[in-house]
Amino acid sequence: MSEWSPDIVQLQARQDQEWLRVEQTYCGRLLAYASRRTGDLQASEDIVQETLLGAVRGIDDFDSNFSFEQYLFGICRNRTIDYLRRKKARTLQVPEEDEGFSGLESLATQSETPSAIVRGRELSDRARDLLVQILRDWVEETWEQDEFLRLCVIEALFSGGWRNRDTWERFQLRDETAVAGIKFRALKRLRQLAAVRESGNDLLHFLALAEEGDQRILDLDVRRVWNQCRVSCPARHWLARFVSKTLEEGPDGYIRFHLEEMKCPWCQANTDDLANKFQEADLKILIDRVAESTQRFLNRD
């Protein structure tokens, strides 16, 4: 199953057919995301319509550091929060599983994090971009080596912020030192990957400190980057195989962990969509409705 991503230039040029294909491609997964959080199908359909209109309005400012799907989900997240606030939901805080969306609005660090103490030493933008690249390289390399236990452990530590003890018990490793060893080897490999790509020393310095045990800043940035940039999210064709139960034990176990324990909102929405959670006829009605409102906006321009 090939994955399609729209031509941003065509979207910015307000090309009707490109926007129509966006609506046909993404409506199902956006609806799945909103409905998981609101529990109200009608409200979720309204959120999807507002999301696509917001995407049209904001496309000229599209940030290429993120994928188009991230761009859409970021808007959808904000519209969902707006709805919950209007309805005076019990809690107005963003669920912990949605941390990955916060970067689409701001990369600001929360004041209660350790970096509040050492804010002047945070990673530079260039170092953070390099961190994204090498984390993706590491995940791809680990996946190709069928080291899915290692991938689960590192995602738990880097993305979930798990303690060594919790990780050791969850994955039935020998002891906490086994977890520390996996993390140390991952940091060492990341430093090797960074050395290949690095045009400066800003990230290499922090990786070296992390290997020595000083991880206050790096842990913060790794967790944020991992979630914001979806460095470990399986491609949609892997999720399709997971839904159809045709995966081998290794990738199947990793994807299950990623969905059920890491609670990745992006991949949960994609799997709901792939599992045909919504009737095709009902989804077509929504797509037609969204297309009509988008078309009116495009014509107005």
Q: Which residue has the higher pLDDT, 128 or 84?
A: 84
Q: What is the pTM of this model?
A: 0.78
What is the distance between the alpha carbons of residues 221 and 244, in angstroms, rounded to a whole number? Answer: 35
Domain boundaries, the chain: 8-107+275-300, 123-232
> Which parts of the chain are beta strand (E)?
none
Q: Which two tokens stand for residue 235?
A: 């491609």
- What is the per-residue DSSP string for 244-283? TT---HHHHHHHHHHHHTS--HHHHHHHHHHTT-S-HHHH
**Calculated CA dihedral for residues 102, 240, 274, 64, nearest 10 degrees:** 30
- The rounded distance, in Å, linking the Cα atoms of 4 and 2 is 7
Q: Give the C-alpha separation, 94 to 81, whole Å.
A: 8
CA atoms of 248 and 242, how far apart (whole Å):
9
Instruction: Give yes or no for a contact between 69 and 266, defined as CB atoms under 8 angstroms apart.
Output: yes
Q: Does pLDDT of 96 surpass 70? A: no
pLDDT digit string (tens) for 227-278? 888 899 999 999 999 999 999 999 999 999 999 999 999 999 999 999 988 8
Does the pLDDT of residue 293 top 50, yes or no?
yes
> Which tokens in the block code for residue 301?
């321009």
- Average pLDDT of the residues of the chain: 84
pLDDT tens by residue, 119-151 = 444 667 778 888 888 999 999 999 999 999 999
Position 92 scores a pLDDT of 46
Q: Radius of gyration of the chain from Cα atoms?
A: 20
CA distances from 72 to 165, 209, 250 (A): 37, 36, 30
Classify 15 as helix, strand or coil: coil
Work out the pLDDT band at 115, boundaries 50, 70, 90. Answer: very low
Task: Give the pLDDT confidence score for residue 181 in this predicted structure.
Answer: 95
Distance CA 268, CA 259 (A): 6
CB distance 135 to 225 below 8 Å: yes
Nearest to 268 by CA among 101, 113, 121: 101
